[in-house]
């Protein structure tokens, strides 16, 4: 493109006086309890605040910035797409969307993809697909989707209903009909609930679970549990839906969390890490349950050239740089270091658990120390962490994190424990 075809860009002034948390709260709804920290710049696994302080980022936008901050491949992809084509609607064929779908299908058990903008929207799509399958294929009149206690599936009305945690549902009733809950990793309870619902004529159409519960406390799924669920779904012809929004896209050390469990879902969802931090979500499924027809489901922004083109570059880089090997090695290094810290503070820490680069440090339920206390103390030592519930500290760095950065994070955490 020759420069004279480009519209002259007016220079946009950056705010001259810093926008303080108080200024912010005057304009933005208070839906989040924010830390008093204003981040203004990032590079790799580091971010800087408006005071010039540097932090090692083991939050990565909550398991989202797969390639860290300002990665050259993302800068290139974003620039390329915005200069060529960024949005056209799904009235037309979109090359980048097709290529991203192809990559995802070639690197998973799925046959087809549908694109949207977030994890909640991907899960909504999965719920709609499962209900249509129940009505049109299984002949179930009042389909029920089973989900787990302590799960997290998003903040829309259907996904807070799917989320088995009352704190997300309080004051938002009436909730969506058609959901029932079971304890996670408990096969006897699941079989009893299915039998109970079937005798009530409210038939189970699908079971929807996280391969590893992220928000619920970094709790990995049990292989035997998921393998038995796979058998039950096959026997009854019902659907197994996995929410891979947090654990998928390489974070577990495999592309998908279900690979850790030795099973394949019929339907799964992705979002967070999929676009490396640009908003995109995806519903993926096997062809036998792809019952959507034109007009059944849609999303204005879904899979636009911008989001799909950037996500495709993130996926390709994951593969080309063999980042899964880094995730596995750095994950082992991190867990070993966390276990050493847990041992020297065994009065405060009771367990370390996780897969690849999604790990949790479980605090002693009998002491007052909360995950928020540890996160604040780590922040003071230059390390960003995020709670997963009141008693679990979560570690979800970019997948490109280096050996020395993991060491530095462990040293900062050791100092934080000395301080609390
Ligand atoms: C974050 C998350 C979601 C919701 O994703 P949004 O993009 O915030 O809508 C759903 N499921 C899981 C497992 C998540 O971790």
Are 211 and 342 in the same domain? no
In this structure, is residue 284 part of a structural domain?
yes
Distance, in Å, from the CA atom of 226 to the CA atom of 220, rounded to the nearest integer, reads 11
CA of 153 to the centre of ligand 1 (A): 6
In this structure, is residue 29 part of a structural domain?
no
Interhelix angle 305-320/323-344, rounded to 10 degrees, is 80
In this structure, is residue 398 part of a structural domain?
no
Which sign does the torsion angle of CA 366, 371, 376, 379 carry?
A: positive
Spatial contact of 342 and 354, defined as CB atoms under 8 Å apart: no
CA of 122 to the centre of ligand 1 (A): 9
Are 238 and 99 in the same domain? yes
Are 267 and 328 in the same domain? no
Are 381 and 255 in the same domain? no
CA of 166 to the centre of ligand 1 (A): 17
Full DSSP string of 250-281: TTTSSSSTHHHHT---SEEEE-GGGGBTB--E
Are 303 and 360 in the same domain? no
Full DSSP string of 67-110: T-BS-HHHHHHHHHHHHH-----TTS--HHHHHHHHHHHHTSS-
Residues with CB under 6 A from ligand 1: 118-120, 123, 152-154, 210, 214-215, 243, 245-246, 271-272
In this structure, is residue 343 part of a structural domain?
yes
- pLDDT (0 to 100) of residue 3: 47
Are 238 and 274 in the same domain? yes
Are 360 and 261 in the same domain? no
Distance, in Å, from the CA atom of 361 to the CA atom of 194, rounded to the nearest integer, reads 33
**Helix runs in 157-245, H state only:** 157-162, 187-199, 223-236
**Helix runs in 321-365, H state only:** 323-344
Residue 172 is a catalytic residue: no
Are 228 and 192 in the same domain? yes
Active-site pick, 114, 132, 268, 272: 272
Cα 51 to Cα 23, 25, 37, 147, 227, distances in angstroms: 17, 19, 9, 44, 51
- 151-208: pLDDT as tens digits: 999 999 999 999 999 999 999 999 999 999 999 999 999 999 999 998 877 899 999 9
Active-site pick, 114, 115, 152, 417: 152
Residue 290 is a catalytic residue: no
- pLDDT (0 to 100) of residue 6: 58
Q: Which residue puts its alpha carbon closest to atom 10 of ligand 1?
A: 153
In this structure, is residue 64 part of a structural domain?
no
Which parts of the chain have pLDDT scores under 50? 1-3
In this structure, how many other beta carbons lie within 10 angstroms of the beta carbon of residue 303? 25
Q: Which one of 269, 288, 320 terminates a domain?
A: 320
pTM of the shown model: 0.95
Bridging pattern class, strands 267-270 and 219-220: unpaired
Are 196 and 267 in the same domain? yes
Q: Which one of 272, 296, 320 terminates a domain?
A: 320
Are 82 and 195 in the same domain? yes
Given ligand 1 and candidates 63, 152, 242, which is best to mutate, with the most ligand atoms within 8 Å of its CB?
A: 152
Residue 288 is a catalytic residue: no
Spatial contact of 354 and 218, defined as CB atoms under 8 Å apart: yes
Distance, in Å, from the CA atom of 34 to the CA atom of 242, rounded to the nearest integer, reads 30
Q: Which residue puts its alpha carbon closest to atom 6 of ligand 1?
A: 119
In this structure, is residue 415 part of a structural domain?
yes
Distance, in Å, from the CA atom of 397 to the CA atom of 96, rounded to the nearest integer, reads 27
DSSP 3-state of 58: coil
Q: Contacts from 228-231 at CB under 8 Å and sequence distance 24+?
A: 228/187, 229/187, 229/190, 229/263, 230/263, 230/264
Are 168 and 209 in the same domain? yes
- pLDDT (0 to 100) of residue 1: 44
In the beta sheet, which residues pair with residue 69?
44
CATH of residue 340 = 3.90.1150.10
At 202, list the tokens: 């409210």
Nearest CA to 327 out of 335, 222, 387 is that of 335
Nearest CA to 229 out of 277, 178, 264 is that of 264
In this structure, is residue 55 part of a structural domain?
no
What is the number of domains present in the chain? 2
- pLDDT (0 to 100) of residue 362: 98
Looking at the CA of residue 272, tell me the nearest atom of ligand 1: 7
- 322-381: pLDDT as tens digits: 999 999 999 999 999 999 999 999 999 999 999 999 999 999 999 999 999 999 999 999
In this structure, is residue 9 part of a structural domain?
no
CATH of residue 225 = 3.40.640.10
- Can you give the residue range of the structural domain that contains 354? 324-388+410-420
**364 Cβ neighbours under 8 A, 6+ residues apart:** 347, 348, 349, 350
Are 270 and 360 in the same domain? no
Sheet holding 358-363, edge to edge: 349-355, 358-363, 392-395, 386-387
């Amino acid at each position: 493109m020759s420069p004279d075809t480009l519209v002259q860009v007016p220079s946009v002034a950056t705010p001259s006086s810093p926008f303080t948390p108080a200024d912010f709260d005057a304009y933005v709804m208070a839906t989040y309890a924010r830390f008093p920290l204003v981040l203004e710049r990032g590079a790799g696994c580091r971010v800087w605040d408006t005071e010039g302080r540097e932090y090692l980022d083991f939050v990565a936008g909550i398991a989202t910035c797969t390639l860290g901050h300002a990665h050259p491949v993302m800068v290139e992809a974003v620039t390329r797409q915005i200069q060529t084509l960024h949005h056209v609607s799904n009235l037309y064929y979109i090359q980048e969307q097709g290529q991203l779908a192809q990559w995802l299908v070639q690197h998973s058990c799925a046959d087809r993809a549908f694109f949207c903008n977030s994890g909640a929207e991907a899960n909504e799509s999965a719920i709609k697909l499962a209900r249509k399958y129940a009505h049109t294929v299984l002949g179930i009149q009042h389909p029920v989707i089973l989900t787990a206690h302590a799960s997290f599936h998003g903040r829309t009305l259907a996904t807070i209903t799917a989320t088995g945690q009352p704190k997300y549902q309080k004051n938002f009733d009436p909730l969506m009909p058609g959901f029932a809950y079971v304890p996670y990793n408990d096969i006897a309870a699941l079989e009893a609930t299915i039998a109970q619902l079937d005798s009530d004529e409210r038939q189970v159409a699908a079971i929807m679970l996280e391969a590893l519960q992220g928000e619920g406390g970094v709790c990995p799924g049990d292989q035997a549990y998921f393998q038995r669920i796979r058998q039950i779904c096959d026997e009854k012809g019902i659907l197994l839906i996995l929410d891979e929004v947090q654990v998928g896209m390489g974070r577990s050390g495999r592309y998908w969390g279900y690979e850790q469990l030795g099973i394949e879902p019929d339907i799964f969802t992705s979002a967070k890490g999929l676009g490396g931090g640009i908003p995109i979500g995806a519903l993926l499924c096997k062809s036998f349950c792809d019952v959507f027809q034109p007009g059944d489901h849609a999303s204005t922004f879904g899979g636009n050239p911008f989001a799909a083109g950037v996500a495709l570059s993130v996926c390709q880089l994951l593969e080309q740089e063999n980042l899964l090997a880094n995730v596995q090695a750095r994950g082992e290094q991190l867990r070993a270091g966390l276990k050493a810290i847990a041992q020297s503070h065994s009065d405060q820490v009771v367990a370390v658990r996780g897969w690849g680069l999604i790990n949790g440090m479980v605090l002693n339920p009998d002491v007052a120390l909360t995950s928020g206390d540890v996160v604040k103390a780590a922040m003071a030592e230059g390390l960003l962490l995020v709670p997963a519930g009141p008693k679990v500290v979560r570690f979800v760095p970019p997948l490109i994190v280096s050996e020395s950065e993991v060491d530095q994070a462990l040293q900062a955490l050791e100092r934080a424990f000395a301080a609390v």
